Amino acid sequence: MPLTRRSALTGGMALFISASTYPWRARAATSPAAIAALDKSQLVYLSPIVSGGRDSRCQAEVWFVHHDGAVFVCTQASAWRAEALRRGFTRARLWIGEFGVWTRADERYRSAPYLEVGGRQVDDPAVHAAVLPVFGRKYAAEWDRWGPRFRDGLADGSRVLLRYDYKGRE
């Protein structure tokens, strides 16, 4: 089919409408503001993406580290974050900033820079050994209490390490 002015305009308009209808798609998944915010924030607000590109009702503010071009979260194996990945909900949105407990934040976190990411559970002890010290440096004031919980939990399976990749590397 030859490219005509009409088909070019129609295609361009379709792209414009889809970007304006779904504003989260209009922002690049690797926005410089979001990546810069990762190195400044203590929290990310995490939501799995479910059918139709909607955010799950399961959301939370969580500790994280930005390491090796990815975002890592250590959580209980029974937490909904881990369960979502086991059920195949591997896409998620991470809003970066600090707005308090998500249920009391009145969705203010949704105005923060965010990344659309792909997640997976990481079971490799070498990755655990590399990432836990990064958590320890970031959360130094709390690490005496939480470090052993993370380390022991990863060892006995009561905790899991989740990796969220951006830049199309999932």
CATH number at residue 149: 2.30.110.10
Query: How many domains does the chain divide into?
Result: 1
pTM for the predicted model, two decimal places: 0.74
Range of the domain at 49: 27-165
Residue 15, in any domain of the structure? no
Structural domain includes residue 20 = no
Residue-level pLDDT, tens digit, the chain, 170 residues:
454 544 443 444 433 333 333 333 333 345 777 788 788 888 888 887 766 666 656 666 789 999 998 999 999 999 988 988 898 888 888 878 766 555 555 665 666 677 888 999 999 999 999 999 999 999 999 999 999 999 999 999 999 999 999 863 33
What's at 119, amino acid-wise? G
> Residue for token digits 């909607």?
54
Look at residue 170 and give its three-state secondary structure: coil
- 163 DSSP β-pair partners: 72, 120
Count of CB atoms situated within 10 Å of the CB of 75: 20
Residue 128 lies inside a defined structural domain of this protein: yes
Domain assignment present for residue 31? The answer is yes
Q: Which of 29, 6, 15, 16 is nearest to 166 (CA)?
A: 29
Contact in structure between 82 and 123 (CB atoms under 8 Å): no
